[in-house]
Structure 1
Amino acid sequence: MPTAPSVPTSPSGDRSLPLRERKKLRTRRALADAALTLFTAKGFDATTVDELADSVEVSKSTFFRTFPSKEAAAIEAETEVWTVWLAALEARGLSGPVFPALCDTLAEAATALPPDWDERYVATRRLVMTAAALLSQVELQRNDVKRRARATLAAKLGLDPEDLRLHVLSELTMTAWSVSAREWVRSGADGGRETLLARLHDAFTAIPASLDLAAG
Structure 2
Amino acid sequence: MPIDDRALPLRERKRLRTRRALADAALRLFTEKGFAATTVEELVDVAEVSRSTFFRAFPTKEAVAVEAETELWAAYLDALTAHDLAGPMLAALRDILTGVVAELPDDWDVRYVATRKLVLTAPSLLGHVEYTRSGMETQVAQRISDKLALPGGDLRPRVLAELTTTAWSIAGRGWVAADASGGRADLLERLHQAFAVIPDALQLSA
Q: What is the TM-score when the length of structure 1 is the normalising length?
A: 0.93
Return the alpha-carbon distance in structure 2 between the equivalents of residues 26 and 81 of structure 1: 17
- Structure 1, 93-102 or 112-121: larger mean CA deviation: 93-102
Q: 2:73 aligns with which of 82, 85, 93?
A: 82
Normalized per residue, which structure has more helix?
Answer: 2
Which residue matches 1:157? 148
Tell me how many residue pairs correspond in the alignment. Answer: 206
The Cα shift of 1:214 comes to: 3.8
Quick one: structure 1 residues 162 and 145, their matched pair in 2 at CA, closer, same or farther if it must change by over 3 Å?
Answer: farther
The Cα shift of 1:210 comes to: 1.4
The Cα shift of 1:84 comes to: 0.6
Contact 1:88/1:109 (<8 A) preserved: yes
Q: 1:72 aligns with which of 63, 69, 73?
A: 63
Return the alpha-carbon distance in structure 1 between the equivalents of residues 160 and 85 of structure 2: 14
Q: How does 1:1-216 map to 2 (within 5 A)?
A: 5=1, 7-8=2-3, 13-160=4-151, 162-215=153-206
Return the alpha-carbon distance in structure 2 between the equivalents of residues 135 and 193 of structure 1: 24
Unaligned runs of 5+ in 2: none
- Structure 1, 79-88 or 205-214: larger mean CA deviation: 205-214
Return the alpha-carbon distance in structure 1 between the equivalents of residues 161 and 132 of structure 2: 13
Return the alpha-carbon distance in structure 2 between the equivalents of residues 36 and 157 of structure 1: 40
Return the alpha-carbon distance in structure 1 between the equivalents of residues 154 and 27 of structure 2: 38
Return the alpha-carbon distance in structure 2 between the equivalents of residues 213 and 133 of structure 1: 35
